[in-house]
Amino acid sequence: MNPADWPLPLYVVWLIMYAVIIFRAGGTFLLGRLARRGVSRIGRINRILSSQRYQRAERILRRYGASAVAVSFLLIGVQTVVNLAAGSIGMSLRRYLPALGLGGAVWALIYSTVGLVGISALLQAYRQNPAVTLGLTAVFIAAIIGLTIGLRDRTDEEGGDVLPAQE
């Protein structure tokens, strides 16, 4: 079922998709918080937290912070594990919620407009106008880099780490 085919106004489809991602990713973050507080004793959760994929997500989060959460919404297959890791390593809500809001908004826009054919649409846009497509991609990448640098600079001024050490 492709949301781009729903017989609703675009803003309604976007709101529905935004609510879906906020609840899904936010819930996964909360599960990570619970896992940090002892739910990891449950066998299935412990297996997830011990997996290579989860460990890699945790390393990425410790290095890049909230920007990794925002970018994870653009990558199929890593979004859930990154949000789980963000919760379990204790990322502050002050950092997590803006990343969730921004990443979720972009995710909702992609899925409410082009659905699951986003890569095809991007390729078509490139064929039609490579300069504009590459220019918009460069602006998007610059925004992510700016967000990363901005968060790190503000954290350095506050005298703390991007993420607190795991207890």
Q: Please give the average per-residue pLDDT across 122-138, as a whole number.
A: 87
Q: Could you write out the DSSP letters of every residue in 140-157?
A: HHHHHHHHHHHHHHHHHH
Looking at residue 65, its amino acid is G
Q: How confident is the model at residue 131 (pLDDT cuts 50, 70, 90)?
A: very high
pTM, 2 dp: 0.62
What is the average per-residue pLDDT within 40-47?
A: 72
Q: What is the pLDDT of residues 49-99, one digit of tens each?
A: 778 888 887 888 888 888 888 888 888 778 888 898 899 888 889 989 999
pLDDT band (50, 70, 90) for residue 161 = very low
Which residues are CB-contacts of 80 (< 8 A; sequence separation ≥ 6)? Answer: 25, 28
Q: How confident is the model over 1-16, as pLDDT tens digits?
A: 566 677 888 888 889 9
